[in-house]
A and B are shown apart, each in its own frame.
Chain A
Amino acid sequence: MAYKKIDNHDLKYFKEVLSDDLVLINEQISEEYGKDELGTIEAMPEVVLQVTSTNEIAQIMKYAYQETIPVVVRGAGTGLVGGCVPIEGGIILDTSKMNKILELDESNLTLTVEPGVLLMDIAEYVETKGYFYAPDPGEKSATIGGNISTNAGGMRAVKYGVTRDWVRALEVVLPNGEVINLGEKVVKDSSGYSLKHLLIGSEGTLGIITKAVLKLAALPKHSISLLVPFANIEMAIRAVTKIVNTEIIPTAIEFFERETIAFAETYLGKRFPDTTHDAYILLSFDGNTKTQVEHDYQEIANLCLKELNALDVFIVDTDERKDSVWKARGAFLEAIKASTSLIDECDVVVPRDKIAEFILFTHEIAENLKIRIPSFGHAGDGNLHIYVCKDDLDSKTWEEKLVKAFTLLYNKAQELNGLVSGEHGIGYAKKDFLRNHLGNTQIDLMRGIKKVFDEKNILNPGKVI
């Protein structure tokens, strides 16, 4: 498909729709717009439009569709797979100015937000009012629009599910500029194909989310975390399998190794409360009564000590303690990034009983390829975050080793009946792995769907499929 390059006539139109200062060209476009958080894929847009309303987006899309100009939506740019990088140039629709919380509906327990509202702002807003939006990805400065577009997961998925489970309805602008509403403030929905769920996780390739109605719950009144050390990562992960088989459902189960803690300590300039052991799992429990939360954590603590060979069980109860442990956990990605010259990441998800096997496999690859591969992740839901580090390798050797490592990792994930991405999405970087994994039939079905939504392929072209 030949795309139209943006000319003065187009800019004139954009300036009719938006105020002049929200139309950025040339040197007004900062470098950030050409990449995402990982920064491995780069391409600059021809124009950045800082949109402020659904109506503006609808008018721009109508125009772009008519003129065949590619459009990429961008929130906070915290993605890791190049999803928001405009590889065909064209327009970046920056939704970060659409950051208003529109309505808290206390009868239906929903929160209606614009797509550019940050996760941390949602949490702060609802929690001060006694409510709870459960999805809890590590990157709190991501936008909700971005979270919905990748079906972000996060740490509380074990108990509360992922973003998909917390979206009641969406307002969406289609590639041709038409505005549609998917879903309602209802709990059940058996009304035809779920286009809402198709949009969730479609990484900005099918439509533009301009409003989201999120499900809320009552904020659990009590929570406590346990930091449980083990002699090695294998024992730690094997313990997780046993823990998820009990009747107690922790809110989160994370795993990490001593090395990763050391990176976080350096990065944050703060000491972690315990660094004397090789591997840890971090569990949290929440509930409405102190008695229930205490019962739950004690049950698991006893199980860990008596049957799972835990070396100790540390209590993380007060704000200070939660801060010292969870802040470090939240900083792992940044800390690993800061520990090397370049990283690339793999966010596979495998059945929970296969995590230990997968982690040990990454250790094997690291040793065989003589490359550093630190990892951490959501042990409770099988989603791993594996980082291949460049360190002082030259570019050629790095590329070669990276391809080898990734091929081995993704093949292993497939062998263990896992999937390519747990929560970061496919974007541009993981397309080949997705195709290899799913095969032509499924990719063709996806392409067919894309065609129905976006016949001219102007919305985030070259991504996912």
Chain B
Amino acid sequence: MKIAVCIKQVPASTDVKVDPVTGVLIRSGTNNKMNPYDLYAVETALKIKAMIPNTKVYAISMGPAQAKTILNEALWMGCDEAILLSDRKFAGADVLATSQALSQGLLYIGGLDLIICGKQTIDGDTAQVGPEIAELLAYPHATYVNEIISVNEKTLEVSTNYENHHEILAISLPCLITVEKDIYTPRLPSYKRGLDFKDYEIEVISLKDLPDNDEHKYGLNGSPTQVEKIFSPDKNDKKEVVEGSILHVVDTLFNELKTKKYI
């Protein structure tokens, strides 16, 4: 079986800086990490690899050269190969152009039975890239998967978690799934495994390598949506202290939470 996991490098802390002139996230510097949801995607792929003999797991990411760090991390966790899509012409991509580039990267790998994405990223938060890749590849897909029920060379049976209902789906391969957090506990990267990859070169592919290299479909050119403004949300550390008897405190807290519809 051939599985690919799509991963993204995101800022390591919520304290991100926005360029005041361009309104774009400042991504330079070393304080980055793998999108936390993608860790679950990697783990899911590795769990399936353990179930099906002769399975190979590819990690793929789009980004600047520094995104190699998270691809290395995927290798150290247990992926077999890593590929970076990197080209200036990919820059400024929205959801559609990102999905276009990734789907082409996946075609470049070729012969995939299963593509796994995290349910969303913590910086973009759209949860749309996974499904759009599936549409572009004309693969069936399932989102918010929280359990792999069974898997064989032909079919994948999963449970999905929507807020008000669950779906149990059997999907023919090849297909794409996006996974929920806590589907499995992600394993830690192994330094020992890392030593085996010491001389491994991550393959970097650019627009010219893709099956469809019409540059109008990529980056800013291929993005029908434009971000108008990005800003850091206001920090709110307002505190309210309820004092008095235990009953009073509990009542007040309960009513407050109810009014604000937390319970």
A complexed with B: yes
* A318-B33, A319-B12, A320-B36 known; A312 vs B185 contact (CB < 8 Å): no
- Residue of B33, B188, B195 near A274 (CB, 8 A) is B188
Give chain B interface residues in 171-187, CB to chain A under 8 Å: 184-187
- Residue of B39, B188, B192 near A305 (CB, 8 A) is B192
- Chain B residues with CB below 8 A from A321, complex form: 188
The yes or no answer to B111 lying at the interface (CB within 8 A) is no
- Chain B residues with CB below 8 A from A317, complex form: 33, 189
- Whether B188 contacts A314 by the Cβ 8 Å rule is yes
- Whether A316 contacts B188 by the Cβ 8 Å rule is yes
- Residue of A271, A290, A313 near B190 (CB, 8 A) is A313
- Chain B residues with CB below 8 A from A314, complex form: 187-191
The yes or no answer to A301 lying at the interface (CB within 8 A) is yes
- Whether A315 contacts B189 by the Cβ 8 Å rule is yes
The yes or no answer to B218 lying at the interface (CB within 8 A) is no
- Closest B residue to A325 by CB, please name it: B188
Give chain A interface residues in 279-295, CB to chain B under 8 Å: 290
* A312-B190, A313-B190 known; A270 vs B30 contact (CB < 8 Å): no
- Residue of A226, A227, A313, A324 near B185 (CB, 8 A) is A324
* A318-B33, A319-B12 known; A273 vs B191 contact (CB < 8 Å): no
The yes or no answer to B139 lying at the interface (CB within 8 A) is no
- Chain A residues with CB below 8 A from B186, complex form: 273
**Number of A residues contacting the other chain (C-beta, 8 Å)?**
23
- Whether A271 contacts B33 by the Cβ 8 Å rule is no
Give chain A interface residues in 257-291, CB to chain B under 8 Å: 270-274, 290
- Chain A residues with CB below 8 A from B76, complex form: 315
- Whether A274 contacts B187 by the Cβ 8 Å rule is yes
- Whether B188 contacts A301 by the Cβ 8 Å rule is no
Q: How far is the CA of A320 from the CA of B192 in the complex (A)?
A: 21
- Whether B12 contacts A312 by the Cβ 8 Å rule is no
- Closest B residue to A310 by CB, please name it: B192
* A318-B33, A320-B39 known; A312 vs B189 contact (CB < 8 Å): no
- Chain B residues with CB below 8 A from A312, complex form: 190-193
**Number of B residues contacting the other chain (C-beta, 8 Å)?**
20
- Whether B191 contacts A226 by the Cβ 8 Å rule is yes
- Chain A residues with CB below 8 A from B184, complex form: 271
- Whether A273 contacts B187 by the Cβ 8 Å rule is yes
- Residue of B34, B36, B188 near A227 (CB, 8 A) is B188
Q: Tally of A-B residue pairs with Cβ under 8 A?
A: 50
Q: How far is the CA of A315 from the CA of B187 in the complex (A)?
A: 10
Q: How far is the CB of A29 from chain B (nearest CB, A)?
A: 14
- Whether A273 contacts B188 by the Cβ 8 Å rule is yes
- Whether B185 contacts A271 by the Cβ 8 Å rule is yes
Chain B 56-68, CB-CB to A under 8 Å as 1, else 0, gives: 0000000000000
Q: How far is the CA of A305 from the CA of B34 in the complex (A)?
A: 26
- Chain B residues with CB below 8 A from A274, complex form: 187-188
Q: How far is the CA of A305 from the CA of B196 in the complex (A)?
A: 13
Q: How far is the CA of A298 from the CA of B194 in the complex (A)?
A: 11
- Chain B residues with CB below 8 A from A313, complex form: 190-192
Give chain B interface residues in 141-186, CB to chain A under 8 Å: 184-186
Q: How far is the CB of B67 from chain A (nearest CB, A)?
A: 15
Q: How far is the CB of A273 from chain B (nearest CB, A)?
A: 5
Most B Cβ at <10 Å: residue of A272, A314, A325: A314
- Chain A residues with CB below 8 A from B39, complex form: 320
Q: How far is the CB of A76 from chain B (nearest CB, A)?
A: 18
- Whether B188 contacts A270 by the Cβ 8 Å rule is no
* A305-B191, A320-B39 known; A273 vs B185 contact (CB < 8 Å): yes
Most B Cβ at <10 Å: residue of A226, A227, A317: A317
Q: How far is the CA of A290 from the CA of B36 in the complex (A)?
A: 21
- Closest A residue to B30 by CB, please name it: A290
- Chain A residues with CB below 8 A from B192, complex form: 305, 312-313
Q: How far is the CA of A274 from the CA of B30 in the complex (A)?
A: 27
- Chain A residues with CB below 8 A from B30, complex form: 290
- Closest A residue to B246 by CB, please name it: A30
Chain A 77-117, CB-CB to B under 8 Å as 1, else 0, gives: 00000000000000000000000000000000000000000
- Closest A residue to B245 by CB, please name it: A21
Q: How far is the CA of A316 from the CA of B187 in the complex (A)?
A: 10
- Chain B residues with CB below 8 A from A320, complex form: 36, 39
- Closest B residue to A300 by CB, please name it: B191
* A318-B12, A320-B36, A320-B39 known; A301 vs B185 contact (CB < 8 Å): no
Q: How far is the CA of A319 from the CA of B189 in the complex (A)?
A: 14
Q: How far is the CA of A321 from the CA of B191 in the complex (A)?
A: 15
Q: How far is the CA of A226 from the CA of B34 in the complex (A)?
A: 18
Q: How far is the CB of A119 from chain B (nearest CB, A)?
A: 19
Q: How far is the CB of A130 from chain B (nearest CB, A)?
A: 13
- Chain B residues with CB below 8 A from A290, complex form: 30
- Whether A272 contacts B188 by the Cβ 8 Å rule is no
Q: How far is the CA of A226 from the CA of B188 in the complex (A)?
A: 10
- Chain A residues with CB below 8 A from B13, complex form: 319
Give chain A interface residues in 131-166, CB to chain B under 8 Å: none
- Chain B residues with CB below 8 A from A226, complex form: 191
Q: How far is the CA of A271 from the CA of B185 in the complex (A)?
A: 6
- Whether B33 contacts A301 by the Cβ 8 Å rule is no
Q: How far is the CA of A226 from the CA of B30 in the complex (A)?
A: 20
Known: A312-B192, A314-B187; 6 extra A-B contacts, CB below 8 A, are: A312-B190, A312-B191, A314-B189, A317-B33, A318-B36, A319-B12
Residues of A within 8 A of B (CB): 226-227, 270-274, 290, 298, 301, 305, 312-321, 324-325
Task: Show 7 residue pairs from A and B whose CB-CB distance is below 8 angstroms, ordered by the A residue.
Answer: A270-B185, A305-B192, A312-B192, A313-B190, A314-B187, A315-B188, A315-B194
For the complex of A and B, the 5 pairs showing the least CB-CB separation, nearest first, are A314-B188, A271-B185, A313-B191, A315-B189, A301-B191
